[in-house]
């Protein structure tokens, strides 16, 4: 009986995060939201600078700024944003294996309500950074 309780206790220790250690979702969320504020403020160059290395390799800064402006400008300023979901995964379609958090927000823009998806990746510097952004 004592061995069984000891084993259950050991298993619980593995399942419960260490004190002060947050889940990837909790760690990545405020960083995604800081990045979204840059988008809201039309600081598209800064969003590129703060993005993941894979993001920067995939698109050059001037190209990203043009794409971001063309997508966001017609939507107008956001009036409110609510987190719908945050999911940690180690694989995404058409992406290398890694550590990702996919966050979806329901956002009320001036002209429309839309779902924003921000994909965060644990980058080479071990910091969570934006690897993808979509509005639908």
- 8 inside domain: no
- Specify whether the backbone of 60 is left (phi greater than 0), alpha (psi in -120 to 50) or beta: beta
- 15 inside domain: no
The CATH number assigned to the domain holding 117 equals: 3.10.450.100
- 61 inside domain: yes
Total domain count, the chain: 1
Tell me what pLDDT residue 94 has. Answer: 86
Tell me what pLDDT residue 27 has. Answer: 97
**DSSP output for 49-101:** HHS-HHHHHHS-HHHHHHHHHHHHGGG-SEEEEEEEEEEEES--TTS-S--EE
- 14 inside domain: no
What is the domain range of residue 95?
Answer: 23-135
- 3 inside domain: no
Distance CA 29, CA 69 (A): 23
Tens-binned pLDDT, residue by residue, of the chain (136 aa): 444 333 333 333 344 444 457 899 999 999 999 999 999 999 999 999 999 999 999 999 999 999 999 999 999 999 999 999 999 999 999 888 999 999 999 999 999 999 999 999 999 999 999 999 999 9
């Amino acid at each position: 009986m004592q061995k069984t309780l000891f084993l259950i206790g050991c298993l619980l220790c593995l399942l419960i995060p260490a004190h002060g250690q947050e889940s990837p979702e909790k760690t990545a969320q405020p960083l995604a939201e800081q990045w979204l504020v840059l988008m809201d403020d039309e600081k598209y160059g800064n969003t590129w600078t703060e993005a993941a290395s894979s993001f920067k390799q995939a698109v050059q800064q001037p190209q990203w700024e043009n794409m971001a402006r063309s997508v966001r400008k017609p939507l107008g300023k956001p009036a409110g944003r609510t987190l719908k979901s945050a999911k940690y995964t180690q694989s995404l379609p058409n992406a290398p294996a890694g550590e990702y958090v996919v966050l979806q927000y329901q956002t009320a823009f001036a002209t429309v309500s839309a779902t924003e998806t921000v994909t965060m990746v644990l980058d080479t510097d071990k910091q969570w950074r934006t690897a993808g952004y979509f509005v639908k």
